[in-house]
Amino acid sequence: MKHYDPPKKDLWTGRISNKWLYLHEKVHCTPLEEIPEAQKKSIALLGYACDEGVRRNQGRVGAADGPDAIKSSFGKMPNHLGSNVLLHDVGSVVCSNGDMESAQEQLAEAVATLLERKQFPIVLGGGHDMAYGHYNGIKKYLDAKKEGQTIGIINFDAHFDLRKNTEQSNSGTPFYQIVQDCQKEGIDFNYLCLGIRKDANDRHLFETAKDLNVIYVMCETFQPAFLQEITTFINAFTKNVDQVYVTIDLDGFSSAFAPGVSAASPMGFTPHMVLECLKTIITSGKLISLDIAEMNPKYDIDGQTAKLAASLVHHVAHAVSGS
């Protein structure tokens, strides 16, 4: 399979209990083409080893190594998943020779395959250009069911990522590309951004967001004091869509928590806020898939960002499986 690497067993190491006390003992390394149709709750970890979009967007490259760093950190964590829950590492989509567009297409195919086989996909990146491929994979799966289901995107991020792709697509354009596709098909673009910063988006991006009726919460409001109001926003948003796709850009967090990203800033949000919001989203019963973007081991400090990403995966995996 082009643009794909199978799972690496040597990533999954840690304490040995022989009792599945740790996630590296629980995981099954299963190539994507061999993933079975789940007969019970099953979670599939898929990497997106690509930072070509970050390079094109003049960011700090290195996020192509993000998926392996997150998996390695996740494997060392305690396993509280029920015995009735399966966990698979299905390898990574890769970007060869700067061909990001083909990597996005491969990601869409992979996500659609996982959903068809009743897996819950958690995609690990990699640049935020992954969002375009991920969304298209969800859409391909839903379109095949011919039920006309709507998708709502919830993005935890400092950036709108609504830059116009007038030259080349990149890590700052995925949601504008989705807008263009929605307009061609005459369907609604449902987009909620949490943690937007004025120092991370120029005025044209705010104008674009307004023109597209994007719902967003500024970073200074994305705080515990306003959690009740934010929960209301999330509930209203999820109520009006059939399925929810969540994407978490690690550069939205303060660099105190996430130094290892492509565009670090001390002015971001906290893990606590994201966890509280994820609780609300998962409770809606509409979360279909999730990804974590912009993990850059090259700039990480003591594996802190990888641990943050792994902890988010740990939280979501246990929450969606009811463990």
Q: List CB contacts of 61: < 8 A, sequence separation 6 or more.
A: 51, 54, 55, 262, 296, 298
- Residue 51 annotated in ligand binding: no
Q: What is the CATH number of the domain that holds 173?
A: 3.40.800.10
pTM score above 0.75: yes
The pLDDT tens digits along the chain (323 residues) read 789 999 999 999 999 998 999 999 999 999 999 999 998 899 999 999 999 999 999 999 999 999 999 999 999 999 999 999 999 999 999 999 999 999 999 999 999 999 999 999 999 999 999 999 999 999 999 999 888 899 999 999 999 999 998 788 999 999 999 999 999 999 999 999 999 999 999 999 999 999 999 999 999 999 999 999 999 999 999 999 999 999 999 999 999 999 999 999 999 999 999 999 999 999 999 999 999 999 999 999 999 999 999 999 999 999 999 97
| Distances, alpha carbon 271 to alpha carbons 47, 124, 127, 154, in Å | 22, 17, 20, 16
- The pair of structure tokens assigned to 4 is 């794909």
Q: Is 157 annotated as a binding residue?
A: yes
Query: How many alpha carbons fall within 13 Å on the CB side of residue 26?
Result: 26
DSSP-assigned letters across all residues of 143-196: HHHTS---EEEEEESS-------SS---TT-HHHHHHHHHHHHT---EEEEEEE
Cβ atoms within 10 Å of 77's Cβ, excluding its own: 17
| Distance (Å, whole) CA 292 – CA 270 | 15
Rounded to whole angstroms, what are the CA distances from 76 to 47, 141, 191, 268? 18, 32, 34, 27
Residues 69/295, Cβ–Cβ less than 8 Å? yes
pLDDT at 295: 98
Annotation-wise, does 65 bind a ligand? no
Rg (CA), the chain: 18
The model's pLDDT over 247-270, given as tens digits with 9 standing for 90+, comes to 999 999 999 999 999 999 999 999
Q: Could you tell me the CA-to-CA distances from 103 to 58, 210, 211 in Å, in that order?
A: 19, 31, 30
Give residue-wise pLDDT tens across range 151-198: 999 999 999 999 998 788 999 999 999 999 999 999 999 999 999 999
Residue 189: what pLDDT? 97
State residue 140's pLDDT score: 97
Q: What DSSP element (H or E) covers 87?
A: strand 86-94
Instruction: Give me the pLDDT at residue 115, please.
Output: 98
Q: Which single residue is written with the structure tokens 């596709």?
A: 181
Buried b (16+ CB within 10 A) or exposed e, 91-109: bbbbbeeebbbbbbbbbbb
What's the domain count of the chain?
A: 1
Among candidate residues 293, 281, 200, 188, the one with its CA nearest the CA of residue 247: 293
| 315 in a labelled binding site | no
Is 302 annotated to bind a ligand? Reply is: no
Q: What tokens were used for 221?
A: 């409001």
Query: Is 5 annotated as ligand-binding?
Result: no
Alpha-helical runs (H) found in the chain? 23-26, 52-56, 66-75, 100-116, 130-145, 174-185, 203-211, 227-239, 271-283, 304-320
φ, ψ for residue 285, nearest 5 deg: 75, 10
Measure the N-to-C terminal CA separation of the chain; round to a whole number of Å.
Answer: 34
**Residue 252: domain span:** 4-320
